[in-house]
Structure 1
């Protein structure tokens, strides 16, 4: 099962497999809205281990994190350590660059997942 390509990214809008999201999670075989309220995530506190856990459990080998268009979303060391402790490579970029890297990995057939913030 391959990871879905992100076909469009613009401020506040991402398209994945015909679905439209503001922020999203993607993994081999699926995608869904990334609702920060589920974990209490905010820009400064950043991406929490609980934000990536669902994607990690989908058997990805690489996880790409998009920090937003202006990189306002932080990624704490504790989250990076959690991902790495699961034997997963992690890449963190500005969201447009993150999507480009994610799609490149998808085109190579990699088991890749991601969490992407499409504003700030």
Structure 2
């Protein structure tokens, strides 16, 4: 099962190839995608992305996880969250969202088992 390409990104709007709906923030993994609703885990810009935000994707068998911090990188990613991902044996890349989407699409295009979480505003 391949990771779906992110077809488009603009402020507050993301489209994933093969998905009829669009997202503000999204989670993607080999074979699927869905809205990333921060309220599910109590995430906010600070303290930022929590391990609970990533567990669903890590369970999908990804080898690399890409985290998009927002267009202005307002979304924090604590070192404890990065350490958590690495302890699962998964490579993690934390980037500004436009760069994160490019990196994710590059890896997906190479057939890598890649997942991601992307914040499409601030």
TM-score by length of structure 2 reads 0.97
Number of residue pairs matched? Answer: 120
C-alpha separation between the residues in 1 aligned to 2:81 and 2:54? 8
Matches within 5 A, 1:68-83: 68-83=70-85
Q: TM-score, normalised by structure 1?
A: 0.99
The 4+ residue runs of structure 1 with deviation greater than 2 A are none
Which of the numbers 18, 28, 31 marks the counterpart of 2:30? 28
In structure 2, the gaps of 5 or more residues are: none
Corresponding position of 2:68: 66
| Ranges in structure 1 where 5+ consecutive residues have no aligned partner | none
The 5 Å alignment of 1:31-70 reads 31-70=33-72
- Which is further off, 105-114 or 11-20? 11-20
Q: CA RMSD in A?
A: 0.5
**CA deviation after TM superposition for structure 1 residue 87, in Å:** 0.2
Q: Which moved more, 1:17-26 or 1:7-16?
A: 17-26
Deviation sequence 1:42-100 (CA, Å, 0-9, x none): 00110000000100010000000000000000000111011000000000100000000
